[in-house]
Structure 1
Amino acid sequence: MATIPKVTLRKRVVSGAKESLYLDFYPAIRDPFTMRMTRRESLGIYIYAKPKNEMEWEFNQEMIMKGEVIRGLRVQSLINEEFGFLDKNKKKADFLSYFKMKAQKKDQKWMKVYLHFHKFVNGKCSFGDVTVELCNKFRDYLLNAHHLKRKNQKISQNSAAGYFSTFRALLKIAYKEKFFRENLNDFLESIDTTDVKIEYLTLEEVKKLVEIPCKIPVLKEASLFSCLTGLRISDILNLEWKNIVPASEGGYCLRLRTEKTETETTLPISDEALKLCGERSEGKVFKGLKRFMVYQPLKHWVQDAGITKHITFHCFRHTFATLQIALGTDIYTVSKMLTHKNVSTTQIYSDLVNAKKRESANKISLK
């Protein structure tokens, strides 16, 4: 059984003929927030080192009595393994460093939110600074913020909603790790999203992209691979040959952990998709693929194919989903292929396909 540390009230001489009261823990206790061992807790109580009269002597006795009361409370807290009295150390901890550490373990979106928050607080923020008021001010900031690189362009409301959702996810993690005494999310409202048009390619348009050369061959291969698998750009950038393994039922499948949802999944891939990967080797599958390629180079390639739609790399994921549903794949299977946590998320693609069916039915008219 663990030994309860002994807590002793001690005095330390300070300048100005005063003494400071502090608590001495033996053996040392570990601060559960900083993980550092500590022997002392300053009480912020000062007494006269050499009282000159009865009034100063009585003052000292009263302060020492208060110190003893605090000492008793600390003993009780240690017995109950409650470390709330160390909150002052926790509140001084660097929230920005904590945010950055968590963001580096997540995806690019987390780093964007970190950079926006870093800008919002002017590069300085402790846990003690993070209040409901500060969080609401950051919410307002996001609703009016501009892109970090395209400074003349505001971020969309849906992006702001996503960023604030990510920030609230961080607050939840910090609360679970006991950096906050209460869940700040209970007092915060999310940012509403607006309906946006989901753009995707028809099968005929995908075939056009197959026929049209791209100035960056690896971009073309990765784009078509996304059309055939539904993988996000983040997962394609990280895809390695060790993730492509033989399937028990024949053919090959992908075994990977998706970056956005951190979901472990096994996905079958077609022979055509595998062929786009090229010759098997070591390391990354799509060697030389960089994120900047999915912007202007992708836009130019799509235009060269005569496609006037506003197509981003993520539209290839939409294309995979709508084509699968249009060709008869059930929505549950498509949901699993897209690694959606809820089938309701996939339902939007089914609605798109149904709208197209209605549109085609109305093309035949006897009038």
Structure 2
Amino acid sequence: MAKKSIQPKIKEPVRLRSKKLADGSESLYLDIYRDGRRSYEFLKLYIHPETGPQIKTLNSETMKAANTIKMERILEITHNEAGLKHTSSRAKMLLKDWMQTYYEDMERKGARCLRLLKSTVRLLGEYNDKVAMREVDRAFCTGFMRFLQYDYKTRWGKPLTPKSASDYAGYLSSALNAAVRAGVIGENPFMQLTPKERIQVPESKREFLTVDEIKSLIATDCPREDVKRAYLFACFCGLRFGDVARMKWGDLVLDGGQWRVTVVMQKTTTPIYQPLSESAMSWLPERGDASSGDAVFGTLPALARINLMLKVWAKEAGVTKHISFHTSRHSFATMMLTLGADLYTTSKLLGHSNVKTTQIYAKIVDSKKVEAVNLLDKAFG
């Protein structure tokens, strides 16, 4: 009788495990072993004590979902090992080395996010400074976000705010996008994440100035005239600080009697051909003998210093709102909608790729309309 051949058991690179929680339920997670390194991905899926047929069915569906994710991760790993994604030998370089390369490139380009980018590099080093580019996968990205949200503490012993944690994760994602463009990796694993898997940032109050408040600022001296001009120009065109600061005289074009500015938006790299109103043009400084390559507003102070000046200026003008340079953009958006511009047009003026982003301002305007109508109740109540 022939002996049966014994097939070696293949060890799965991804295993589905569970962690017992205090309420009796179990949190499902993936135990991922790859290239001699172990990482974990918590799925935010839970198995509950079976107290009836409905819970039993729910648990069954949850396990199906978890196993589907598990198989997706196994396929990702096997594809990577087969060379279907990481075709560049540079994928072997360490993430920290790529981040340094990316930082130096942004520094050469004069980016204004260098301080936060440098902090991102430091935080990545604290999380894992040995990971190679080819090992930066979905699990690594979700792990880094958990580290930012729950493990890291500032020098004052406090956790990061959701906004700060989200910003740092965003800088990593931007660096990975650059790595894709450079052919270092095949894709950015952040692109695989659903919105719910990303860091949730509570919607912040969008402070904006009314027409009367802008008039008060116009009538009040600012600590620096160039800052006043740049800020009010932004109030009337909606450009972000980075785009205003980089704007050159050669970017301004007179087209059929209408002034326009050609800008590649720094945040989104989206090119826009923005019409400028007379109100916006009136806040540009005299050009004098400046060349087309000179910055319109010269060398403005750092944004943090400008925001301090704006607080002083607002206080002198009797404006009690907490304003920053970005308030000018919010003010432009709400003015456009209040004055009757439609949502789609306002979206294009702001350079939004999705009209849903602009709808936030529409909600603000609607709430102000409700407040205005309710004034009738006070008048005749």
> Structure 2 length normalisation: TM-score?
0.65
Match of 1:160 in 2: 165
Q: Compute the displacement of 1:163 (Å).
A: 3.1
Identical residues among aligned pairs (%): 30
Choose from 113, 116, 123 the match for 1:112: 116
Deviations 1:174-221 (A, max 9, x none): 457654477634378311121211110000000000011011111111
Q: Compute the displacement of 1:336 (Å).
A: 1.0
Q: Compute the displacement of 1:117 (Å).
A: 3.1
Alignment of 1:84-99 (within 5 A): 89-99=89-99
Match of 1:140 in 2: 146
In 1: Cα distance, 2:327 partner to 2:153 partner? 24
The structure-2 alpha-carbon separation of the partners of 1:155 and 1:312, relative to structure 1 and needing over 3 Å to count, comes to farther
- Structure 2 unmatched ranges of 5 or more: 1-81
- Structure 1 unmatched ranges of 5 or more: 1-81
Q: Compute the displacement of 1:172 (Å).
A: 5.0
Is the CA contact 2:237–2:280 (under 8 Å) kept in the aligned structure 1?
A: yes
Deviations 1:37-85 (A, max 9, x none): xxxxxxxxxxxxxxxxxxxxxxxxxxxxxxxxxxxxxxxxxxxxx978x
Choose from 244, 248, 255 the match for 1:247: 255
Match of 2:264 in 1: 257
Match of 1:196 in 2: 204
Q: Compute the displacement of 1:269 (Å).
A: 0.9
In 2: Cα distance, 1:286 partner to 1:88 partner? 43
In 1: Cα distance, 2:157 partner to 2:220 partner? 34
In 1: Cα distance, 2:376 partner to 2:240 partner? 37
Alignment of 1:196-275 (within 5 A): 196-248=204-256, 250-275=257-282
In 2: Cα distance, 1:326 partner to 1:316 partner? 15
Deviations 1:299-337 (A, max 9, x none): 111111111111111011000010111011111111111
Name the amino acid aligned to 1:228: F
Matched, 1:300 2:308: no
In 2: Cα distance, 1:319 partner to 1:348 partner? 13
Q: How many residues align?
A: 283
CA RMSD of aligned residues (A): 3.1
Is the CA contact 1:251–1:271 (under 8 Å) kept in the aligned structure 2?
A: no
In 2: Cα distance, 1:83 partner to 1:195 partner? 41
Q: Compute the displacement of 1:124 (Å).
A: 4.2
Is the CA contact 1:237–1:290 (under 8 Å) kept in the aligned structure 2?
A: no
Q: Higher Cα Rg: structure 1 or 2?
A: 1
Is the CA contact 1:237–1:286 (under 8 Å) kept in the aligned structure 2?
A: yes
Q: Which moved more, 1:253-262 or 1:128-137?
A: 128-137
